[in-house]
Structure 1
Amino acid sequence: MKKQILATAVFFTTIGLATIAQAASFEQVRQLLSTKECENCNLSNAGLVMADLSGANLRGANLTNANLSRANLSGADLSGANLSGAGLFGVNLSQANLTGANLMGADLRSTFLTNTEFNGAVLNGVNFQGAVGIPMQIATPEEFYALGVAEAQKGNHKQAISYFDQAIAAQPEYPGAYLARGVARYQMLDRKGAFEDAQIAEKMFTAQENQIGMETAQAFMEELQTPYSNEVRAGKPSFFDFVGSLGSVLLQFLPF
């Protein structure tokens, strides 16, 4: 009987502590939403979908595994915050301060990152697919290229071109990025731009003694000069299958 009473007491004590913990979490969420001031708060696993947190003070906050999808965090101070595993899909992080923040494994797909500060941030395993305004210093040319290829495969050619532009800006002698951008431009009916990119790629491949790349670029230019290339044909090939061996040539520039 004493054991049953003890077990019951432990059970209700556990429930009571859990309730207090939940209330504390709720209180900090309420504080954040009402004042936008929650420095060093424990907001792990918090649901903050579409919350307006523009300019919020979240310095040092614990936001591990929090769901902030489509929230407005523009101009927010997240320096030193722990955002590991956080869901940040579609979040506006323009001009936000993420200096020293931990973003390991965070989902930053389709985020807005114009003038976002990432100095000293931990970015291992971050998914930047579809993000706009990724700072040049936090991704390699090969990573920008890979992002572009992924977008092009999904038919998002405008976004793909933006990533290829960044890859080229970071590494001007990058024939694969020119060739890939040319294909994306072709599929957006920009035959002139596609041909110019193919020409640049062909010259670079030649200078680098990359025979397959040179021949592929030349084949692409021939395709662009045919009468029917003024329009992308119905049932057009995929990004990778466009011209013969083009797929394998583009794949060799991926960072894996």
Structure 2
Amino acid sequence: MIKITSISLTALFTTFGFILPVRAENLAHLSQLLSTKQCQLCDLTGSGLVMADLRGASLIGANLAGANLSQANLAGADLRGANLTGASLYGANLTGANLSSAILQGTDLRESYLSNANLTGTSLEQAYVQGAKGISQNAGTPELFYGWGLNETQEGNYQQAITLHNKALILDSEFAPAYLARGYALLRLGNENAAILNAKMASQLYEKQENEQGKEFADSFVKNIESVQEARRKGTGNPGLDNIVRGVASLALQFLLKGGM
């Protein structure tokens, strides 16, 4: 039997482009994972697995805290109960992966692919998910999807923001802030009529919920867009007015960003 030493492992990782981690994780477990893709309950803390091909890998209960799995291919991988605290999965492919009951405290999931991933019993509240694609409906609360939507809006990713606000509203059809936030994103995409409809719905819900400040912002949002539309119909509109409307609409966004509900 060939004895695998730390030196031979170093050469192997260098040859195939793997970066050795700073921390001294269990090299035997790392070697086992790379050679067999079977590493249940393994200690892989701090492992460097950037762009690693781990399709279908079994990592049930593995400790991957602080591991770098950026752009790794984990499609169909079994990560049930895995500890991914502080791990980077930036741009990773997690399509169809099983993340049931995984620990995602401070986990970087930005720009990752989560279509058909099983997130049952997994909290994304403390994970970074900006730009993540395919987050399932049951993976978050209305508040979480709404918050993620606001983050996307701040980055100018209005279509992604709308997708997330849609998810929030599917879970809670009377979640007024999501309507107003979706209205803002629609306005920035040039869909004024849809923006008005969303803000009007927000206004109605704010009134029902006796939220005077929210209703005031929603009504102002509608009034200013409609004023510009009327000015255009009369031939008196100009780009300056459009900019003013966007500015007033931005006040509604600031209201939401400051925690206005």
Task: Give TM class, smaller chain.
Answer: 0.7 to 0.9
TM-superposed CA distance for 1:32, in Å, is 2.4
Counterpart Cα distance in 1 of 2:123 and 2:250: 41
For 2:255, give the aligned amino acid: V
Partner secondary structure for residue 243 of structure 1: helix
Counterpart Cα distance in 2 of 1:89 and 1:114: 15
Partner secondary structure for residue 181 of structure 2: helix
For 1:246, give the aligned amino acid: A
TM-superposed CA distance for 1:135, in Å, is 3.0
TM-superposed CA distance for 1:156, in Å, is 0.9
Counterpart Cα distance in 1 of 2:232 and 2:78: 50
For 1:101, give the aligned amino acid: A
TM-superposed CA distance for 1:162, in Å, is 1.2
For 2:158, give the aligned amino acid: H
Q: Which residue does the alignment assign to 1:197?
A: 198
| Greater Rg by CA | 1
Q: Which residue does the alignment assign to 2:257?
A: 251
Q: Which residue does the alignment assign to 1:171?
A: 172
TM-superposed CA distance for 1:168, in Å, is 1.0
TM-superposed CA distance for 1:88, in Å, is 0.9
- 8 Å Cα contact 1:145-1:254 kept in structure 2: no
Seen in structure 2, the aligned counterparts of structure 1 residues 156 and 187 have a Cα distance that, compared at 3 Å, is same
Seen in structure 2, the aligned counterparts of structure 1 residues 71 and 186 have a Cα distance that, compared at 3 Å, is same
Partner secondary structure for residue 249 of structure 2: coil
TM-superposed CA distance for 1:149, in Å, is 1.0
Seen in structure 2, the aligned counterparts of structure 1 residues 31 and 238 have a Cα distance that, compared at 3 Å, is farther
- 8 Å Cα contact 1:186-1:232 kept in structure 2: no
Seen in structure 2, the aligned counterparts of structure 1 residues 147 and 229 have a Cα distance that, compared at 3 Å, is farther
Pairs within 5 Å for 1:177-188: 177-188=178-189
TM-superposed CA distance for 1:116, in Å, is 1.6
Q: Which residue does the alignment assign to 2:144?
A: 143
The C-alpha deviation readout for 1:224-248, integer Å capped at 9, x for no partner, is 2214789995995898x54374245
Q: Which residue does the alignment assign to 2:112?
A: 111
- 8 Å Cα contact 2:123-2:140 kept in structure 1: no
For 2:252, give the aligned amino acid: L
Counterpart Cα distance in 1 of 2:250 and 2:122: 42
Counterpart Cα distance in 2 of 1:53 and 1:247: 41
For 2:191, give the aligned amino acid: D
Q: Which residue does the alignment assign to 2:53?
A: 52
Seen in structure 2, the aligned counterparts of structure 1 residues 34 and 163 have a Cα distance that, compared at 3 Å, is same
Unaligned runs of at least 5 residues, structure 2: 11-24
For 2:99, give the aligned amino acid: L
For 1:73, give the aligned amino acid: L
Counterpart Cα distance in 2 of 1:133 and 1:254: 27
- 8 Å Cα contact 2:184-2:249 kept in structure 1: no
Partner secondary structure for residue 217 of structure 2: helix
Counterpart Cα distance in 2 of 1:229 and 1:47: 58
Which deviates more from structure 2 when the two are superposed, residues 129-138 or residues 95-104? Answer: 129-138
The C-alpha deviation readout for 1:2-54, integer Å capped at 9, x for no partner, is xxxxxxxxxxxxxxxx959x878445434323432222322221111111211
Which deviates more from structure 2 when the two are superposed, residues 230-239 or residues 52-61? Answer: 230-239
Which deviates more from structure 2 when the two are superposed, residues 33-42 or residues 144-153? Answer: 33-42
Q: Which residue does the alignment assign to 1:152?
A: 153
Q: 2:115 matched to 1:101?
A: no
* Deviating 4+ runs (over 6 angstroms): 228-232
Q: Which residue does the alignment assign to 1:82?
A: 83
Q: Which residue does the alignment assign to 1:12?
A: none
- 8 Å Cα contact 2:125-2:144 kept in structure 1: no
TM-score, normalised via structure 2 length? 0.77
Identical aligned residues as a percent: 41
TM-score, normalised via structure 1 length? 0.79
Seen in structure 2, the aligned counterparts of structure 1 residues 122 and 172 have a Cα distance that, compared at 3 Å, is closer
